[in-house]
Structure 1
């Protein structure tokens, strides 16, 4: 073994060791390797940094932005509403619907983003249906991981493997090339989870560590029975007036929290201020802080129609209307103000609906109570004002946001624009002669022009840690190729499984990729394994495509570990799962994926074409 190879292997072993212990974090490890490899003299500085110019890296960044466009425009939220409407309380139907929709969305956007969007949706579904969240969240992660096997752009490892083929002069895979393998695996995983879900209740979550929900605050602050949705009739005397003239902007008893108004794409929620005008058909979201308030008489007097509410205190409207717990700091202009009619809070667009103090669990009289330093307030208002309020730290300091805040949709009226942009990207990727990266960039620009994303939100959507991790690991393939390490690894695999036949070799590749992917990320696994299996195919004088495809599928089959994939990490925290549960449920799923892959891949990509 040459000195160059020894130094390369030492760097690789160091990187894997740091990945395993989790310190420093993965992207920092990648940066260390970018610096360390050129110092060995095996690769140049330009080669170590070449990954930043790789078209697949740019494509991955573009896909993060496209996924953010689907989230910001409410496409995912509409899917969640559909699940609640169709699934009801039937657990089997919910599991099948959730897994199918998560997989379909994950096929065209980041699976991590899909899971982040769906966790609050599934928790809400679990509360409303009475099903344990532990029996629904694990199927979400299983479907999100499997979605990486449905399209070329569904997950980063696919693009890494595709890039490895192109680097060695082979034509890459098509957009739907992986679908014939992934579709039967998805069907099998859904069927399997219908059985395995009964073993998933999740660990008991520490109540102190749980993120609060709107329902938790409704109970804690005794808000039951205080909320009303009142529709303004055409003959109402309120039509054409402002809330200020009607006295509904600062009424100490009945306060309009927000106004729902019909829009081209459903409804929009408007800030309720003194200057807000009332139009026919508007729905006033009214908070009433007095037991003796006669809502029926108020409706008759103002020609309003009370709309039925199935949830407690606007929980049906949490897509648009939000809550937050804030504290009054020293020197705040709120000190001494009446809790219910604070002009400062009115400027922030929020209303105080609950108050807690150290000496009292809950203060019920908001009309006459004056605020003190250290008071904890529960405020309600449109999400856009809840979020903007957090930046005004000299008046109030935000303590907690509910889990529903993750479901906020900034531009719901742009959902068709986002879907059209995504459809155009897919069509361009399928069209001959259009590079995938160009299609992705066109989609990003189109979403920006149409208002689905902004420049700031687009930059925030890109998972820079993942990109740095990929770029930092890519030089290893150059170094191992140059020093002969890839040939040695390929020979080692052949010595062990060379007599197993084509199916046996594919099984060995799957198992090796699966084992590596259980301890490090799927992206790093694909970076390490892709050049090895392509070289192995060369030694066998076989087609590289079945081995590359098997590696891509196996890199997404990280069902057994809650730490090697951000999808599993998110679900593990939200569902309170133990490592043991991931292993026991994930191992049969991984073995099933192995069997299907070994059987299906040779049908489409024979190792030895005739």
Structure 2
């Protein structure tokens, strides 16, 4: 017992100072418990097969898909309209929406659902995501107190009451308690999040501005102003012809940027978009969308000569709207020619960019001037910045050949930010399916199964560019942290440390009256939940609370509510609940951030509830 407590205390110390990564500290503690024979290998590794951990992995994938398809951006845009320019309204909306969802969906699922949305909200509002992500995690736990199914400890005390012959609680018996907790959370977190979580992401913003975004490149080279798009209709003269046969450059002075092919199935929900670089031998097909850059009059002349249709979304002059310029498969980037490059003083058409790399040059920046026309006959100079266009794979190849040029910025990182927005309706359907399976009891699917189904569907339906992109969304540090800390509860129970702590604290307070006993039960449960899962703590403390109430001749309801509150309202540690761990990396929080923000909230809720619970459920 003493050894287990020492390991726990040392782990908490290293968590607090933050000098070593939290997942490494948790793994070291786990190895010690196993090496000293306190836990068997099976017990020590049980956390890695725990349904909560598997669920976290799946939820990271689902959340990543929500972000990758742009669904998070769409939802956040709607919320931003409600919030306007007010950061206060934005904070209140995040807290309220998350709490309501948390009343019916597991707090882990709620955070995974809302996390990419809140990150998008923070980016649009120009504030640090760290200001909102910890309140998000806490709001999911606060909302869990609104209903019977909101959090597992609620079900634990319901079971204890029923097993001992007391009237069971109804679905909404928890609602008054939950509403009070949410109000307290908003009042406490609003100032604390401003004062203590303001330093996050500042360095990243500076770093991000060193790399031009794709939208910034589009605006700088005025691609959207000179871009036109046309559709090859059934009666078009371009149908069946190659790009070389159209001879758009020599006849019209235009450049064909891409050929896009779109297919839609299942009433618009399932949509596929294929972008192809326009090579000389690319054959025009019925329904192809052609993107050309150059003078508008010449573009319209091309459309008239070949009977090309103007899409309904484009304005009457054939100009493509800004949203039509997407970078799903084809991207753009800048490269700067070195003075020693073999291409210096050669004509662009002699550079072999197209034949060797499959790359088009669509613009040149030279001493602050932009050259967009007559590019094949432009003679290249050292220091020229070339705007290149090609598939993301071909652009990445350019970065490996640095003898003649240097790729500016991190184009592949920008590519990863491009949302597959045509998949957003499909991602929304999968997300709603997951929520339905988790909420409705008549669907015989366990929550972890629902999450796994949703995660795999997100990959199979193309909501990610590839499987590797899905794996990259998983925050392994958080997963390992939770998996390694879960067996700690087994060690504390196995050695008798949990029972000793609980009985000692509670029995010593019984003589001081019901309010002190109630406070003792809440804070004992709250303390244990910092090191043991909230469900395990509720299972351990509920019988003790019931016995304490029975021995003193008091109603067990306020004491059991103190247990579920103490187990669910644990905010002072990143590993006490999965939601806390889920936002740790995204918000760049340290262990002490949770202590500074979460501990005051945890204590204030306890102090208020000691006096409120007897009013709602008399002794």
- TM-score, normalised to structure 1's length? 0.68
Question: Residues 224 and 325 of structure 2 are in contact (CA less than 8 Å); yes or no, is this contact kept in structure 1?
Answer: no
1:33 aligns with 2:29: yes
Question: Residues 525 and 537 of structure 2 are in contact (CA less than 8 Å); yes or no, is this contact kept in structure 1?
Answer: yes
Q: Counterpart of 2:586 in 1: which secondary structure?
A: helix
Task: Using the TM superposition, give the Cα deviation of residue 51 of structure 1 relative to its aligned residue in structure 2, in angstroms.
Answer: 2.5
1:464 aligns with 2:476: yes
Q: Counterpart of 1:256 in 2: which secondary structure?
A: strand
Partner of residue 50, structure 1: 46
1:298 aligns with 2:299: yes
Q: Counterpart of 2:500 in 1: which secondary structure?
A: helix
The match for 2:570 among 532, 555, 561 is 555
Structure 1 residues 2-401: aligned runs within 5 Å: 5-83=1-79, 89=85, 97=93, 100=96, 107=105, 109=109, 111=111, 114-116=114-116, 118-123=118-123, 125-126=124-125, 132-133=126-127, 138-139=131-132, 141-150=134-143, 185-186=181-182, 202=198, 205=202, 208-211=206-209, 212=211, 214=213, 217-218=216-217, 221=220, 223=222, 226-232=225-231, 238=238, 243-247=243-247, 254-257=255-258, 259=260, 261=262, 263=264, 264-265=268-269, 269-274=273-278, 275=282, 277=284, 285-288=291-294, 294-299=295-300, 301-303=302-304, 304=310, 306-307=314-315, 314=322, 320=328, 325=333, 344=353, 352=361, 364-365=370-371, 367=375, 379=388, 385-386=391-392, 389-390=395-396, 394-395=400-401, 399-401=409-411
State the aligned residue count. Answer: 564
Task: Using the TM superposition, give the Cα deviation of residue 472 of structure 1 relative to its aligned residue in structure 2, in angstroms.
Answer: 2.0
Q: Counterpart of 2:583 in 1: which secondary structure?
A: helix
1:540 aligns with 2:540: no
Partner of residue 291, structure 1: none
Q: Counterpart of 1:307 in 2: which secondary structure?
A: coil
Task: Using the TM superposition, give the Cα deviation of residue 37 of structure 1 relative to its aligned residue in structure 2, in angstroms.
Answer: 0.9
Q: Please give the alpha-carbon distance, in whole angstroms, between the structure 2 residues aligned to 1:591 and 1:503.
A: 15
Q: Please give the alpha-carbon distance, in whole angstroms, between the structure 2 residues aligned to 1:55 and 1:238.
A: 57
Q: Please give the alpha-carbon distance, in whole angstroms, between the structure 1 residues aligned to 2:484 and 2:112.
A: 21
Question: Residues 243 and 273 of structure 1 are in contact (CA less than 8 Å); yes or no, is this contact kept in structure 2?
Answer: no
Task: Using the TM superposition, give the Cα deviation of residue 549 of structure 1 relative to its aligned residue in structure 2, in angstroms.
Answer: 2.4
Q: Please give the alpha-carbon distance, in whole angstroms, between the structure 1 residues aligned to 2:394 and 2:151.
A: 39
1:570 aligns with 2:586: yes
Describe the superposition over 1:3-38 as per-residue Cα deviations: whole angstroms up to 9, x where unpaired: xx2211121122112212224322222222222112
Q: Which moved more, 1:592-601 or 1:268-277?
A: 592-601
Question: Residues 335 and 386 of structure 2 are in contact (CA less than 8 Å); yes or no, is this contact kept in structure 1?
Answer: yes
Stretches of structure 2 that go unaligned for 5 or more consecutive residues are 305-309, 550-555
Q: Please give the alpha-carbon distance, in whole angstroms, between the structure 2 residues aligned to 1:273 and 1:389.
A: 12
Partner of residue 497, structure 2: 485
Q: Counterpart of 1:555 in 2: which secondary structure?
A: coil
Question: Residues 510 and 517 of structure 2 are in contact (CA less than 8 Å); yes or no, is this contact kept in structure 1?
Answer: yes
Stretches of structure 1 that go unaligned for 5 or more consecutive residues are 127-131, 289-293
The match for 2:417 among 398, 406, 419 is 406
- Which is higher, the Rg of structure 1 or of structure 2? 2
